[in-house]
Chains A and B, each alone.
Chain A
Amino acid sequence: MMKNNRYINTRNTLFSAIVLTLLLGCERNFSEDVAFATFPPNGDVFIDTFSAGLDYFPFVDGGADPEAFSVDTQEFFAGNASMRFDVPPFGVGFVGATFNTTVKRDLSGFDALTFYAKASQAADINEIGFGIEGETGNKFQVTTQNLQISTQWEKYTIPIPDPSKLFNQTGLFWLAEGAENEFDEGGYTLWFDEIKFEKTGTLGQPRPAILNGADVQQPGFVNIGQSLTGLTQTVNLESGENITVIAAPSYFDFSSSNNGVAQVNELGNISVTGLGQTTITASLANNPAEGSLELNVESAFEFAPTPPSRAPEDVISVFSDAYANVAVDYFNGFFTPDGQTTQGGSPPLDFNGDRIINYTQLNFVGIGTFLNVAPINASAMTTLHIDIKVNEAIDPGDFIRIQLLNSVGNGETSGSVTLAASDLRQDEWVSFDIPLADFTGLGDRSQIGLLFFVSDSTISDIFVDNIYYYR
């Protein structure tokens, strides 16, 4: 280090002299040792064998079959070998793996991952791409969904949303394909050959998008974070076809029109910090993204009142953050064939660990505890507690009926209690403590299997929290 300090070039010396003169000698120069590390610009993934440093990492924890992959020297597009994946039949696992290098690669000189592929039958690969890197949280993951593969060798191109970001990568290729149901294709073979990153030069007309290109307006609440979804990059290929890939947030540059209201980090997470209005937009490699999020922050988020502490034997909690909850089948049974329109609850909203069910398009919806979990024995309990906030104007005829079903489908009994419009408040939490005796007709409550919210569409958007029986 001492030695290097003697090799300051003439210009720096002159500059240093001036600075020294002006600033009394507190200046420092970079040591000549300072140089950014660069990684090999090798784009090869699998040509006829694993490229330098490449390794196979099946998604065993996710249920992938590690034996599904092999190198096939009988079937190939060029050279003498291909990658082969035997996709198992439905119900017997799936093909899922990433191919990563031990030595990082500089991919910034390429514009696409390309490969040749064929299948033993026409198929579409659920997900395929690059950038699975546990060490960075898949910061630059790219995914193409439902890539159609024919029974002939054909070339496929997966564009890099912004190559300049990819100077130290390890995740070169990944895929996940399996029979998603008994009618989906399975029990067939996929081959890949000549997998490499290349500079095609023939990609054009980039059209990045956030929120799938939609301009969304929604309320925001101070201290309640949100994350941007629907992040894609669409590129026109040499063939004139457009291809859309799911691009990780770190490919984008996000901006908030009012940083006093909200800020967005490189992972697309929005922090709401003040009241007011802001519009979140993005760009990718200096191309403005379609889609925006206008947040109107009028208040801090109001949570339901925290329930009092109770002895465990005095409470059976279905949904709360205050008590231990029993297992449920679902918070929304989606009884669509029966005319249900209700969305939400699957899963509940999660505000930094504080969970709330938001039902929208409500006509009726049930919370199930009878299919794969034990029914609720509320015989020893006296009262049902529910907190409800109606997120819309309430008309005089509006109502929410709470219905309980005991012993679903097997000598079933039920009872209900109606909460009238005058009992509910727009944009305010109201706590209801309903004596179980009021559920006339329920009789036995030792096997409660369904709890219904019924509005007959008079009220469509509600928050629900703290559903529990107690005594």
Chain B
Amino acid sequence: MLNRKRKIVKNTVYQVFMGLFISSFIGCEVDETQTVTTLTNVVLSEEFDTDGAPNPDVWGFDIGRGPNGDGWGNQELQYYTDRPTNVAIENGNLKITVRQESFQGVGYTSARLLTKNRFEQAYGRFEARIQLPTGQGIWPAFWMLGADIDENPWPGAGEIDIMEYRGQNPTILVGSVHGPGYSAGNAISKEYELRNDRFDTGYHIFGIEWSPVAINFYVDDVLYNQITPEDVTGEWVFNKPFFLLMNVAVGGNFVGPPNSETRFPQTMLVDYVRVFN
């Protein structure tokens, strides 16, 4: 499984073009596929097979509502905890559970895990297999921040959003990079719409393969975006170690608040997190 290579059909226009090209010229073997991933040497393999708390050698927690108490700069509505009711390993999954409850003055609790000061790496392949939660106002993410963020505040440190998703758009994944001059609403970003399937009814693999010259974004066996230094409207800061984060937020600028049809609790099931180089 770890050594598999995934191939994709790039896009229809490209195929048509290739088709024309090949038939016009020499008609050699048609190979309009592209390698999704190339790196196969495992350097981190969090399989979440032992019930209980996540491995403290790899995962720490952000607690509360952010350094300014403002919902992590996004007007998010949840309070992050490390309680087992919000984060636990069970039945082979890491479960991050959003609960609607009165806690520390807010109405929701959830969890945010990060590998800061525990696992940090520049370049490589970073992926997770996840079944996402659902509903208006639910905002899960699997993402990375530059490890120098304490000295080099956001957005200078850089951010790679391997997976962001709005619970009210159950078929749409968002992959982005943020950096100096291209953050928040100006992030370099692309949506990928799943066809004939949803992200909240089964597991999907969300990953990037990151090299000095590009970050490739993929979901399952589909490479859907490549961001290179030429694509960003500012300094390319993806040339140093980053750490991983996983969380489920509620409300905030990206998704808007939950509504009466949002069901609680909501759970993000993470089957594994793997890093390769």
Q: Which residues of A contact B (CB under 8 A)?
A: 199-205, 236, 238-240, 242
Contacts and interface: CB of A to CB of B under 8 A. Distances in A.
Nearest to A240: B168
Contacts of B198: 201-204, 238
B196 interface: yes
B134 A200 contact: no
Contacts of B167: 240
Q: Does more than half of chain B's interface fall in helix, strand or loop, or is it mixed? A: loop
A236 B200 CA distance: 10
A196 to B, nearest CB: 15
A325 B194 CA distance: 65
B179 interface: no
B171 interface: yes
Contacts of A205: 134, 170, 200-201, 263
Contacts of A204: 134, 170, 198, 200-201
Interface residues of B, number: 17
A238 B261 contact: no
Contacts of A200: 196
Interface string B175-196: 0000000000000000000111
B196 A201 contact: yes
A203 B200 CA distance: 10
A240 B136 contact: yes
B243 to A, nearest CB: 31
B169 interface: yes
A181 to B, nearest CB: 29
Q: Which of B166, B194, B196 has the most CB of A within 10 A?
A: B196
Given A199-B196, A201-B196, A238 B134 contact: no
B197 A240 contact: no
Contact of B134 (A199, A203, A236): A236
Q: Which of A199, A202, A204, A240 has the most CB of B within 10 A?
A: A240
A205 to B, nearest CB: 6
Nearest to B261: A242
B200 to A, nearest CB: 6
A309 B261 CA distance: 59
B197 A202 contact: yes
Counting from the closest, the 7 A-B pairs by CB-CB distance are A201-B196, A240-B168, A204-B201, A204-B198, A201-B197, A238-B171, A240-B169
Contacts of A203: 198
A208 to B, nearest CB: 14
Contacts of B134: 204-205, 236
B196 A236 contact: no
